[in-house]
Chain A
Amino acid sequence: MLAVNFLLLGAALFAIGVYGVIARRNAVMVLMSIELILNAVSLNLVAFSLMTGAVDGQVFALYVIAIAAAEVGVGLAMVLMIYRNRKTIALDELSEMKG
């Protein structure tokens, strides 16, 4: 039962994260929302690990944390560069990726 609560928390965090990614204009906020999503995933992995008794999930969660750190580093650097060039970090004003 305990695990279910962890999963529910993970789902809530994930939903909040998704909302943040889609709705927020501020790039830093979006990055933080992505962190939330990743954390939600990590939490789920740990929870499943607890349920099955296998250690894989926890190892993977560690990986995710490490990757997340790197990702945030790169992400913030990009945000910084965007800010330098454009004096804004509002995402809806950026459309360089337009195909």
Chain B
Amino acid sequence: METLTDQNWLLSVGTFLPLVGVLVMLFIPRSEEATHKIVGIVTAGATLAVGVVTMFAFDYGQSAKLQFFVDAEWIPVINSNYTIGLDGISLPLYFLSMAVTFLVMIYTWDNMPDAGNPKAFYMLMLVLQTGMAGTFIAQDLILFFVFFEVVLLPMYFMIGVWGGEQRKYASLKFFLYTMFGSAFMLVAFLALFFQTGGDSFSFAHLIEMGAGIDKDVQIWIFAGMFLGFAVKVPMFPFHTWLPDAHTQAPTQGSVILAAILLKLGTYGFVRIAIPMLPEGAKAWAPAIGILAVIGIIYGALGCLAQTDMKRLIAFSSVAHMGFVMLGISTLTEFGINAALFGMVAHGLITGMLFFVAGSVKHRYHTLEIKRLSGMLVQAPRLGWIMGFAAMASLGLPGLAGFWGEFPAILAAYSPGFGLSTALFRTLMVISAIGTVLAAGYLLWLFQRTAFGEPSEEFSGHGGGHAGGGVAHSLSSAANDDDDHDEIHDVTIIEWIAWTPFLIAIVVFGVYPQLMFKVMDPAVTEMVRRLGETLG
């Protein structure tokens, strides 16, 4: 695989810069909360700036090749190197991880979870950032695994310390479940390493050699990786940690979890499992496709049964990641492109929905759908943002979600490499029905919470609602900055943190070529390589 090595310091700086911030924060006393917040945000901002520079330095004409490539000796005993690089597949996710962390930190400025202690919170987020960015640039299995696992711990603490009432249960479940998958994954990695002769852990090497492994062995190795990645995605039936983790996690944790962490699993499939084990992937593809579609329908049904807003959004993640996995399972350019786009889109949209859920919780102190009503009256902008995110989530064209769903459905019509068309066409129709269900539960949520009159319980707190009736509530609520009001509209900080999400959802929805152009050459190249093996 050809690589470009210009400006190859960029990736390492971008990945490890957050740790510098952690180091600085270690020496600042815990009581100086504002300083910690500033240091955290500045560090994340600087990291994002490096990310922006990376974006500009990236050669879009050659996005199929690894760029900013570094290959340094790391652990010679086991032939593991510090190999990093960025191509069209990882660039969007790499940048997304930086942007999301930065925005989440801004959001935290005046939305610190109840447990307090910004020092620890910001430090954990910075560590998390390093882990996430590192996962996307790693081009060596051991390095990948290390970053993959680094991510776990901060998230465990974020849920366990700053989470809701059942945080201990949820955080433990999250940690154990993921570790359980990782164990199999590591075994699979080692098996792959030894099967290819034990020379190197580098992706390029393994992709080249992996195809030569005996088919049955490939299937078994793929099974191990499948367990590891599928838990992370999460695919049905490995998804049960997700609703608990999301429901209990603080808003920040939910957003990062939805926006980036889930993508580590799907990214693993695209980057590692499929290219390295083409035969295994082909053998597993129908199973993945079926599980993905079950996830779509099942997640949607789960959503319909929820009474808690955050839990509903969490279940919708299962359904949406089902579309991503369906795209991947087709083993076609269309499907994998759709999956990659869907990953970013889901990150933005579901992240946004979790932000909204967090703000609702902050204002109403409950997320029970039954008790919420008339949000559009009391907090119109918040309500409309939620409506917007719901519309994006149900795959409306013109917004980002569509470009993850539609090509995935399309791709299922003709899966690659002799996969059963009858099966995948059935899956296509079922998944298309899934889009209807998505519309059902999201609009149902929106109708129940945003429309109507505010319920008795909260109607006293509203902004413009108090005396003047609903007729002019829209205009007056927007201007009503009464500090005594418990239920207020979107704050400045929230606007700053959310606007980039909203803009990105629209921009990628209106002009998807922005991302497809980056990803498509890399994906096409990957599928071409698959074709060399699978014919």
Contact between chain A and chain B defined by CB under 8 Å: no
Which residues in B have some Cβ–Cβ distance to A below 8 Å?
A: none
